[in-house]
Amino acid sequence: MNNDRVFNFSAGPSVLPEEVLSIAAKEMLNYNNSGMSVMEMSHRSKVYESIISDAEKHLRSLMNIPDHYKVLFLQGGASTQFAMVPLNLFTKYKRASYIDTGSWASKAAKEANKYGEAVVIASSKEDNYSHIPKLDPSIFPKDVDYFHITTNNTIYGTRYTPENIPDTGSTPLIGDMSSNILSEYYDINKFSLIYAGAQKNMGPAGVTIVIIKEELIGHAMDITPTMLDYKTHADNDSLYNTPPCYSIYMCKLVFEWLIKQGGLAAIEEKNKYKANLLYSYIDNSTLFKNPVAVEDRSLMNITFITGNQELDASFVKEAAQKGLVNLKGHRSVGGMRASIYNAMPVEGVEKLIAFMKEFEAKHK
Amino acid sequence: MNNDRVFNFSAGPSVLPEEVLSIAAKEMLNYNNSGMSVMEMSHRSKVYESIISDAEKHLRSLMNIPDHYKVLFLQGGASTQFAMVPLNLFTKYKRASYIDTGSWASKAAKEANKYGEAVVIASSKEDNYSHIPKLDPSIFPKDVDYFHITTNNTIYGTRYTPENIPDTGSTPLIGDMSSNILSEYYDINKFSLIYAGAQKNMGPAGVTIVIIKEELIGHAMDITPTMLDYKTHADNDSLYNTPPCYSIYMCKLVFEWLIKQGGLAAIEEKNKYKANLLYSYIDNSTLFKNPVAVEDRSLMNITFITGNQELDASFVKEAAQKGLVNLKGHRSVGGMRASIYNAMPVEGVEKLIAFMKEFEAKHK
């Protein structure tokens, strides 16, 4: 690692592979002998078309996305998807099931209420979102247009494991995968639509990936803005208007890096190794604890507290002085949070644990 | 200039200042001793907040934007503004006046018709959009919520000169300035709202600038998605959700470059010099001609034809071989188009003219 760089535990935007940043820097003034930066290219040029089609091809291969799903590169973040999902999918009942596993899941439901009814069928709010509600599929309403979950909850450090994805039968399952897409293998076939902002595991903020079954496209409400209709983008291979070209290029580089790492199987193994290192240490610590139900723990965002706010603040401050930065928990929950996305090297987690041990020895 | 680089006449995304790209490359792995790339920064970090607030400050200073206008950094391009403008401004009459000066102006009107009525009060369509309609303010409807123009028409190479901006009295004037923002001095006070995609004169695609009078904010229709309500972004200084951080950083660098060039007065002089070089040559050429009304000529996009499609194709091809690329006209009009945005050096225009002369000598 470049010695000037810190270990960045930010929840998002977040660490990117150093190797990818180096390629981007090197290609900044002249991409692949085109004589120009990717930022300067017409989105309708052959050279750019090969960038966006490679990005799609790599993502399809990494996630094993079947042909009857479209892959779209959009703008506006997950927050825009909170509206696009109901605007496009409220076709029959104008009602959908939402599971409330945190602040983002709750915002998604609130936005859907503008266009119909978001039925919150389960919530872990009363337990400070420290677990994923256990669901009995027999209670799932049938008269809904879709069923929405947030697969990883960045703020609280919980996740649906791949085994725990609800079986919603014939009701389309929608997953906000913003903070754990590409971190481990989920079976796409369980979902009808997956969306994710790029700024955790894919690239810079400014591009949102949507993976959507073709049959869900083309039924948007009349009031849907053209740019918020999935059909607009599906019909034009994400080139209806100028897409966020450079951010898509960065995603392509990250996808190539992931493939070089050995694909999702290898990155999943590495992520489990990193998370396990940190959880094991915390579980054996007398100073730090993690408040999340063991079976629902996130591989990406690991929260921990000392139980003493002043001590938490000292920890965050002293860690930063050692080049371990952005460890402060979300303002709504306090404590600490280490976001260890795909691009966080094992070395970063080891250094963090070494510092936690040192801190614990001083404060026990 | 770096010898590996071409002169890129693309209409957008388009040429950026080489100096800016060099800074971006240099700072890619470590911005200002933060130990990380701008792409990796939390949008809520102090270091990033200073980037976005500097970007706003520079833009305000360059364009002389009064305090009672908000500056927003949004996503979705001008195409999303086509919906946001009516969704936010159709407050009383649910009707607006549009001037049809080209394909983008026409798309804007079409989108507004989803939410009310877009009255096209003048059009130059019958003349292939080769001029800006002359407007008599006495015909402007009073019972409209706003009046919409496209200040520069990229495809046809026309523009409203600063003197020719319609006086709409108490009706708010909305300007799509995507392809000529920051190219010359327009009096902001004539407008109530200006929007522009970044990818011509400001930075990479993926960020849209909106400059809006405060009094227009907060009256969106109920059906407006939260992310399409100007109030959402105005109340949160463009940080309601994760903004397109890196694209905004690039805009900041471009604004700094503009200030170093001497600001808008200097860039306007340079742009007029470049455009005049090219128009003068074309006007004196026996081979090439420009179809646009002289008083409405764009400073940014200069169209020209030989009148012979095969010859046009040869020109585009041979020019590319000499490193003068992306000179093909828009597919809807054919011929050639040289987009000479702020970042196109005088040298690029001189080289283009030298090649045109050479080509003319061979084919007269």
Residue A332 contacts B, CB cutoff 8 Å: no
The helix, strand and coil proportions of chain B, stated in percent and rounded to the nearest 5, come to: 40, 15, 45
A100 annotated ligand binder? no
Phi, psi of A92 (to 5 degrees): -120, -60
Residues B152, B54: Cα–Cα separation, whole Å: 27
Which one-letter amino acid corresponds to residue B203? G
pLDDT at A332: 84
Q: Which of residues 119-178 of A touch B (CB under 8 A)?
A: none
| CA pair distance A40, A31, nearest whole angstrom | 10
B332 is in an annotated binding site: no
CB atoms within 10 A of CB A263: 18
- For residues B364 and B361, give the distance between their C-alpha atoms in angstroms, rounded to a whole number: 6
Interface touch B245/A205, C-beta < 8 Å: yes
Q: List the single residue in B with minimal CA-CA distance to A204.
A: B39
Identify the closest residue of chain B to A16 by CA–CA distance.
B40
pLDDT tens for A67-111 read 999 999 999 999 999 999 999 999 999 999 999 999 999 999 999
Other beta carbons within 10 angstroms of residue B30's beta carbon come to 17
Tell me which residues of chain A, numbers 235 to 254, contact chain B at a CB-CB cutoff of 8 Å. Answer: 240-247, 250
Q: How do residues B66-121 score in pLDDT, each as one tens digit?
A: 999 999 999 999 999 999 999 999 999 999 999 999 999 999 999 999 999 999 99
CB contact under 8 Å between A77 and B227, yes or no, is: yes
- The residues near A38 (Cβ < 8 Å, ≥ 6 apart) are A27, A31, A48, A51, A245, A246, A249
Q: Could you tell me what percent of chain B has a pLDDT over 70?
A: 99
Q: Per the annotation, does A271 bind a ligand?
A: no
> What is the structure's pLDDT at B2?
62
Mention every residue, 6+ apart, whose C-beta is less than 8 A from residue B215. Answer: B68
**DSSP line for B289-311:** B--S-GGGB-SSEEEEB-S-HHH
Here the tokens at position A343 are: 């691009």
pLDDT at position B1: 54
**Domains recognised in chain B with CATH numbers:** 27-259 (3.40.640.10), 262-362 (3.90.1150.10)
Report the 10 Å Cβ neighbour count for A136: 8
| Cβ atoms of residues A353 and A336 within 8 Å | no
Across the interface, do B323 and A15 touch by the CB < 8 Å criterion?
no
In the numeric block, the tokens 């963090």 are attached to A352
pTM of this prediction exceeds 0.95 = yes
Neighbours of B332 (CB within 10 A): 11
Low-confidence ranges of chain A (pLDDT < 70): 1-2
pLDDT confidence of residue A48: 98
How many Cα atoms sit within 13 Å of B152 on the Cβ side? 30
Which residues are registered as beta bridge partners of B209? B73, B196
pLDDT on residue B301: 98
H or E segment and range at residue B244? none
Task: Give the burial class of A318: count Cβ atoms within 10 A of its Cβ; 0-12 exposed, 13-18 middle, 19 or more buried.
Answer: middle
Residue B348 — φ and ψ, nearest 5°? -65, -40
Residues 18 to 47 of A: which have CB under 8 A from any B CB? 18, 21-22, 24-26, 28-30, 33-37, 39-43, 45
Q: How many Å apart are CA B333 and CA B305, to the nearest integer?
A: 10
Task: Pick the catalytic residue from A176, A229, A296, A312.
Answer: A176
Give the residue from A362, A10, A12 showing the smallest Cα distance to A179.
Answer: A12
Partner-chain residue, chosen from B78, B204, B245, that has the shortest CB–CB distance to A13: B245
Closest by Cβ to B8, choosing from A2, A40, A223: A40
Q: Are strands A193-197 and A208-213 parallel, antiparallel or unpaired?
A: antiparallel
Contact of A2 with chain B, judged by CB distance below 8 Å, is answered with: yes
Cβ contact B114:A225 at 8 Å: yes
A306 annotated to bind ligand: no
Query: Which residue shows structure tokens 């009295």?
Result: B169
**pLDDT for B331:** 85
> Residue B1 corresponds to which amino acid?
M
> Which residues of chain B neighbour A10 with C-beta distances below 8 Å?
40-42, 45
- Residue A357 annotated in active site: no
Ranges of residues in chain B whose predicted pLDDT is under 50: none
Residue of A nearest to B251 (CA): A39
Element (H or E) spanning A196, and its range? strand A193-197
HSE, CB side, 13 Å, CA atoms: give it for residue A167: 5
| Segment 46-85 of chain B within 8 Å of chain A by CB | 75-80, 82-84
Q: What φ, ψ does residue A2 adopt, rounded to 5°?
A: -55, 125
Q: What share of chain A is helix, strand, coil (3-state, %, to 5)?
A: 40, 15, 45
Six-digit token pair at B54? 């500097």
pLDDT of residue A1: 55
Record the tokens describing residue B267, joined without a space.
């860039």
Task: Tell me if residue B163 falls in helix, strand or coil.
Answer: helix
Contacts of A318 (CB under 8 A, 6+ apart): A355, A359
Cα(B127)–Cα(B135) distance, integer angstroms: 16
**B15 part of contact set with chain A, CB < 8 Å:** yes
Contact B244 A205 (CB under 8 A): yes
Separation CA B116–CA B172 (nearest Å): 16
Give, in degrees to the nearest 5, the angle at Cα A265 between A273 and A344. 45
CA distance B54 to B37: 17
Closest chain A residue to the Cα of B2, Cα to Cα: A29
Residues of B with catalytic roles: 104, 176, 200
Name the residue facing B242 among A13, A26, A84 (closest C-beta): A13
* DSSP symbols for A228-285: G-HHHHHTTTT-SS---HHHHHHHHHHHHHHHHHTHHHHHHHHHHHHHHHHHHHHHH-
For residues B174 and B146, what is the distance between their CA atoms, to the nearest angstrom? 7
The two structure tokens encoding residue B162: 């600063």
- Which residues from chain B sit within 8 angstroms of residue A227, using beta carbons? 76-77, 79-80, 82-83
Reported residue count of chain B is: 364
CA-nearest of B167, B172, B175 to B89 is: B172
